Structure formats: C-alpha cells, structure tokens
Amino acid sequence: MTAAADAATPATTAPTAPALPPFVDAAWLRDNLGDVVVADVRWQLQGPSGRDAYEAGHIPGAVFVDLGADLADITTPDRGRHPLPSPEAFAAAMGALGIGDSDAVVAYDAAGGIYAARLAWMLRAVRRSAAVLDGGMAAWGESLEAGPGTPRSASAFTAVPWPAEAVATIDEVAAGADARSGEACVVIDVRAPERYRGDAEPIDPRAGHIPGAVNVPCMAHLGSDGTLLPSDALRDQFATAGVTSAEGAIVYCGSGVNACHGLLALEHAGLGRARLFPGSWSAWSNQPDRPVATGDRPG
C-alpha cells in the first residue's frame, strides 16, 4: 500500500498526541533515561553499517533501528529510494523492537539528527511521543555500551494510517497546492545548496530541484558543535527563504529521510507542522515528464 493510499484510509483511533518536544538535549536524556526507549538510528550511504557502529558502542540500553529495513519500504523509481512503509509494516517493526503504543522514544545518530529525525517524525506523525537527541552521539558525553545489546520484549504497536495532514502527494508538489483545501503552499527543499542548484547529483538520475521549491538546507540548522540552532535563528533561516509558517508547506530532500529533520526544525522554530513528500527528489527525478529547475532560484 502506498503512502497516498494510506493517507486516504479512514483513520483508526490514534494514541495520545506527542508529549515530547521535537528535540531534547543530552542532560534531559540522562535524567530521564529509564523512562524512554532510546533508539540508535545511525546510517550512512557508504562505509561501516549503522549496525557495526551500534555494536562498537551505543548509549546504554538503546535499541538499534535499521533505517532501510524498519523505516522504509522497497525502493521503486516512482516511489523513491526510501518510501514510507505501510502502517502495518511500520507497526510490526516497532513492536518487534519493543516499542509500544505508550512508549516515549528518543532517537539519535552521529550526523546531527538528520537520520534519527526519520524515526522521530514517523512516530510523531501517528501521534506517538518521540524526539531527536540534539547533538546525537557527540553530545551524549557519557560511557557507551558495546556489543549487540539486550533485546527488548516485543510490544503492541497499533497500526495507524499515515495522516493526510502529514504526507503530500507528488501531484500536490507539482501544483504547489494542498489538494484538500486548494490553497497554494510553499515547497521546501532541504538538500545541500549544490544539489539544489544542480551543480552535482551523486545519487539520482537528474540534477536540479522541483520548480518553485525554495532551498533551506537541513545541515544549516546545526551549529558548529552539531546541535540545533536557537529557535529564533531557525525562524530567520526559514524567513529568508520566504517561509513564515509551516501551514500547508511541503518538505522534501533526496529520498524523504533528511526532510524529516527539516519538518522537526520547523516545529521546533514555532512555525507549526508541515507535510513530507515521501518520494522526494529520488521519485521526482525518475519521472522524465516532471520538469526540473536549476540554479539558486526557485525557477
């Protein structure tokens, strides 16, 4: 089942709204370590796997979450490199990891949260309590636990359809409008500027960006220490690109992973909740009939 189909499915009763803010700091996590499920979502395109990094050393008690297996469906050209899994597959993965309906989750990685945000956003989208550890592994500053970890007991995690207010279709992105209201909406590309401009494209078949999209790189949300910039600085970044509210906005990246960091940054900045285009550039660029813009302007 596709994300679009899921969004159209009548929603079942969802758990309570997220109690955690989008980001928590290491001091908070140390004080609340026994009250949350800590999730290690380290991942990278090349080099050692996230699992290898986890076994070399992780926050004590953390479970390893495989981004490719647990947080994405099978890659297809029309759906992109990391399409959202079906609600049933996501629920099964979370339950098997020992993450239940009532658990609060804090996710971390070693890249400023740009991968961990995928898990936190997915959980928050279906009204679970989840946050990203601000600064990730570098901010933890305490001893680590090596080895495969101790599995948590399986838990009950209810499958909830991906809400229409959380995901956007490729046709909505193309129109720059919300199909529910007909209102125009801003499209935000959080990839690095050189990929947005089309100077380089190391992964996908065409270089450039979706016409009309503005560029607010997710890595620019981080300071030199890898932690999130203050809320007012984030608001200034978005405002410079013409984004003063997340209402109706749609966010994309290369494959729908880093975009989740942008979504949480918007929320952290006090601008509200935007929607994810799950297929992102990997889906758009694989469809020859979709136009492409280049350069540093929306086009």
Q: Which residues are catalytic?
A: 253
Q: How far is CA 112 from the centre of its chain?
A: 12
Q: Identify the CA nearest to 85 among candidates 256, 275, 254.
A: 256
What's the chain's Rg over C-alpha atoms? 18
Kindly report the backbone phi and psi dihedral angles of residue 106, in degrees, each rounded to the nearest multiple of 5, phi listed first: -120, 120
Q: Identify the CA nearest to 70 among candidates 116, 22, 20.
A: 116
Neighbouring CB atoms inside 10 A of 17's CB total 9
Q: Identify the CA nearest to 162 among candidates 27, 2, 3.
A: 3
User: Tokens 């959202």 sit at which residue?
Assistant: 84
Q: How far apart, in whole angstroms, are the C-alpha atoms of residue 241 and residue 264?
A: 17
- As to burial, measured by CB atoms within 10 angstroms (0-12 exposed, 13-18 middle, 19+ buried), residue 44 is middle
Q: Are 159 and 87 in contact (CB under 8 A)?
A: yes
Q: How far is CA 277 from the centre of its chain?
A: 11
Classified as helix, coil or strand, 104 is strand
